[in-house]
């Protein structure tokens, strides 16, 4: 199948890195009517991309290891690769180089259940987010857009999971992809006020004349 390798590289930013939940150390790719859906999550952030294509040559789903994506170096303005799956072996041909890795043999979580659980009840209610998670989503946006001056938009939803726009819309039509993200907030109601010492008098040093 012809797949947008830049989208997969961006999604790798959403994958887990630990060996505890090894089934999250990869990108879950599903063939759907009229296209491909690729999803990655570490349990705190999630990214999903749908690529419109009629040329899949494959029916089903598989889990592509993050280790394979880590070996691939993107080529500027070269966004597509040929991907095939046979007998549990994933092969990607990109930039005159062939990359191979066994698929992860595991059951992927029901990520659609997580997405469908996003509520609009607290839409717009401010929340706090782990800066490290926001940074990873920003890195995904940079990878996708091929430039550093990108924006992501978090749709705050209080203590519930928040939807994230990380794929710039003016680029999606060009690459036949559209996607979204989810980020889990901090659940911390601790109040913070300005420090009392801010108005302490300043003691100037003695200056000899």
CA distance 9 to 161: 24
**Across the chain, what does the average pLDDT equal?**
88
- Comparing 111-115, 123-127, 135-139, the range with the smallest average pLDDT is 123-127
CA distance 43 to 36: 22
**66, 175, 193, 194, 200 from 197: Cα distances, Å:** 48, 54, 12, 9, 5
Residue closest to 83 by CA, chosen among 41, 51, 113: 51
One-letter-per-residue 3-state SS of 21-82:
CHHHCEEEEEEECCEEEEEEECCCEEEEEEEECCCCCCCCEEEEEHHHHHHCCCECCECEEE
Enter the pTM of the model.
0.86
Alpha carbon 10 to its chain centroid, in Å, reads 6
Which burial class, exposed, middle or buried, applies to 101 when counting CB atoms under 10 A from its CB (0-12, 13-18, 19+)?
A: middle
Q: Which fold has domain 2-105+117-183?
A: DNA Polymerase III; Chain A, domain 2 (3.10.150)
* Mean pLDDT of all residues in 115-144: 88
**Which of the two residues, 114 and 174, has the higher pLDDT score?**
114
**Domain range summary for the chain, segments of one domain joined by +:** 2-105+117-183
Residue closest to 14 by CA, chosen among 128, 111, 122: 111
**Which of the two residues, 160 and 56, has the higher pLDDT score?**
160
* Mean pLDDT of all residues in 174-180: 82
* pLDDT the model gives residue 171: 62
DSSP 12: G
């Amino acid at each position: 199948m012809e797949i947008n390798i830049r989208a997969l590289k961006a999604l790798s930013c959403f994958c887990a890195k630990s060996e505890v939940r090894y089934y999250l150390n990869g990108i879950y790719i599903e063939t759907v009517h009229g296209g491909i859906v690729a999803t990655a999550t570490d349990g705190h952030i999630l990214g999903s991309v749908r690529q419109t294509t009629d040329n899949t040559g494959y029916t089903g789903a598989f889990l592509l290891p993050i280790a394979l994506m880590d070996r691939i170096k993107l080529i500027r303005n070269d966004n597509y690769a040929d991907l095939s799956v046979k007998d549990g072996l994933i092969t990607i041909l990109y930039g005159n180089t062939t990359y191979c890795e066994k698929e992860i043999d595991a059951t992927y979580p029901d990520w659609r259940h997580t997405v469908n659980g996003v509520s609009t009840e607290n839409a717009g209610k401010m929340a706090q987010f782990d800066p490290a998670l926001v940074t990873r989503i920003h890195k995904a946006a940079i990878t996708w857009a091929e430039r550093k001056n990108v924006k992501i938009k978090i749709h705050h939803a209080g203590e519930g999971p928040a939807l994230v726009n990380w794929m710039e819309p003016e680029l999606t039509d060009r690459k036949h992809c559209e996607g979204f993200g989810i980020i889990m907030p901090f659940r911390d109601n601790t109040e913070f006020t300005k420090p009392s010492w801010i108005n302490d008098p300043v003691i100037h040093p003695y200056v000899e004349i």
